Amino acid sequence: MSAAEEPTLLRPAGSPDGTGLGDYLEYLSSTRGLTFDDYRDLWRWSVAEPEAFWASIWDHFGVAGSYEAVLGSTEMPGARWFPGAQLNYAEHMVGTEADADLPAIVGRSQTRGDSELTFGELRDQVARARAGLVRLGVGRGDRVVGYLPHVPETIVVFLAAASLGAIWAACAPEFGARSVVDRLGQVEPSVLIAVASYRYGTKDIDQRDELASIRAGLPTVRHVVGLDYGAHAVPDAMTWDELLAEPGPLEFEPVPFDHPLYVLFSSGTTGLPKAIVHGHGGILLEHLRLFGLHFDIHPGDRTLWFTTTAWAMWNITISVLLHRGTIVLLDGNPLWPDLETQWRLAADERVVLFGTSPGYLMSCRKTGVVPPRWPELRQIGTTGAPLPAEAFDYVYEHLGPDVILNPFSGGTDVCSGFVGGGPWQPVYRGEMSGAGVGLDVAAFDEAGHVVVEQLGELVVRAPMPSMPVSFWNDPDGERYRDAYFDTYPGIWRHGDWVRFTERGTCVITGRSDATLNRGGVRLGTAEFYDVVEDMPEVADSLVVHLEDDQGGSGELLLFVELVPDAELDDDLRGRIVRDIRRHLSPRHVPDLIAAVPAVPRTLTGKKLERPVKQVLRGRPVDEVLSADAVRGADAVPAFQEAYRARG
């Protein structure tokens, strides 16, 4: 859809009455005398008065602790939030004795039977795990790491570590040893909690050899705790039951606002992953804002968002516990035994927020899956890639006009979203509903000017609390500055290509370093994929532009992964060309259309546009890709062969 076309309004802005946002608006009115006409009015106040806004989040949601100032410095990078304040994220996650009977975690696994924890049981297990870590010598600033699936025990031990002021990091058990050591080795952990096997669908995965290599590659680890999960136990390790054997006090070490809570890692497709440090206070306030005002989570509300411990969505989604919501975990193959698995689980658990990926919705649409309806469902969330307009049609055709489709976009870098929707925002076909409240997000042109109704760089013009505390082992902050502040001094450049509308909605069209530029016409790769992957024969696709160093138009290369039994013949090529010419522009007709066996992606599902481009430019594959950090790495030679054979 071009910027000139008026999009279809699928759901008008709803009333905030009865929502968490409505409660917040009543709080602002009664305590500060503030009232707002609509969401945009609220957003404008929140970014014009950031100290007042973030103070109101602290006060409204009852953060334990006190503060004297909100911002000690507004400089980016280097903003100092709530200087002098002391708090602990974990204290806010486990509830109080009054919440003891509320359900906290519902575990659904293909490896073992179902499990559930109330908040009372969660509090008891966190206290026991905390006592066990203390017996292992863990204290403030120590690193505790997990090689663990998305199961209740992972949340328990993370919160136990956080309660002590220790620092958490994790990798999913599908990671190979090299990927794990590349990540966890950077933080020099003292304790490792791990599994040695798991089941993926009907396949038992034995990771004992990988785990042995991981242990050998982490020489600072003094203690290993094995979680009995799957067919094989962790050898020569303390058991989980032994870790939790003794009761202990449920206490929380008060730490400064920016004390490290956990370390997240970039995808690491091209070398050592960035180790991104997030702090207790920033994550606490940001996730209170996100789930309280945008995703509208109340006590007892159930949520399901498939993720693994390898992805920042694990860290994000577990924060529904801050609002006494219930997190439903799914560990295993999310597409087994069929595409309807996630829908069935969401309906059976009566979730109010069902989170998924654009790829999942588009696969369901393409194969004709009819999702069930259930009355509790309020929102469908998506992230990980731009959501095609056709996915909006699919959701509203089958789930009706009352559901809020809430695609949001952010990143591991802030462990949250910059843009998304909520109960007081409209839903337009093919668009995200707008910048998050409190987040001063805009699009910049190359000169650093704000642009509207045209593509620009996604930037954040004012600090937000969950911007990273630092990168690990970056004492002078040089790598941190180079990552986000190298283009516009004092302004965070995220690396996404975005178009904001006059209405405040937006469309993200892909990574700005993967933007297609033919003859001065810029196009995001997501717009390309919307067209190509709407064809029934195309399962996936990847497009790269090889620029001409002499100033020519370069080469535009389209690679398609076909569905079984489909063939890339002259008819299909012709239809691809025709649709690209009609929906995008004649300049964006590819110079090459070739079939490949698979489209390589990161373990969190992002297409590897830049690495493939570098390989086609002549860089060796092993310099560009870490094979065990991506899916489909063995398909990359097919891209090279197709490019060489282009004639």
Amino acid identity of residue 446, one-letter, is E
* Average pLDDT of span 53-82: 95
pLDDT given for residue 574 in this prediction: 95
Position 2 confidence tier, pLDDT thresholds 50, 70, 90 = very low
Nearest to 146 by CA among 301, 267, 265: 265
Place of tokens 């599908």: 174
Summarised one tens digit per residue, pLDDT across range 493-506 is: 999 999 999 999 99
Position 621 confidence tier, pLDDT thresholds 50, 70, 90 = confident
pLDDT given for residue 602 in this prediction: 83
Summarised one tens digit per residue, pLDDT across range 583-607 is: 887 878 999 999 999 999 887 778 8
* Average pLDDT of span 360-364: 93
Asked whether residue 180 carries a pLDDT value surpassing 70, the answer given is yes
How many CB atoms within 10 Å of residue 203?
A: 11
* Average pLDDT of span 8-26: 97
Asked whether residue 265 carries a pLDDT value surpassing 60, the answer given is yes
DSSP-derived 3-state class of residue 209? helix
Burial 92-107 (b: 16+ CB within 10 A, else e): bbbbeeebeebbbbbb
* Separation between Cα atoms, residue 311 and residue 198, nearest integer Å: 18
pLDDT given for residue 583 in this prediction: 83
Summarised one tens digit per residue, pLDDT across range 509-539 is: 888 777 776 655 667 788 889 899 999 999 9
* Separation between Cα atoms, residue 162 and residue 280, nearest integer Å: 8
CA distances from 377 to 317, 363, 371 (A): 17, 21, 12
Asked whether residue 549 carries a pLDDT value surpassing 70, the answer given is no
What pTM was estimated for this model as a whole? 0.89
Question: Which two structure tokens, joined as six digits, stand for 225?
Answer: 């705790």
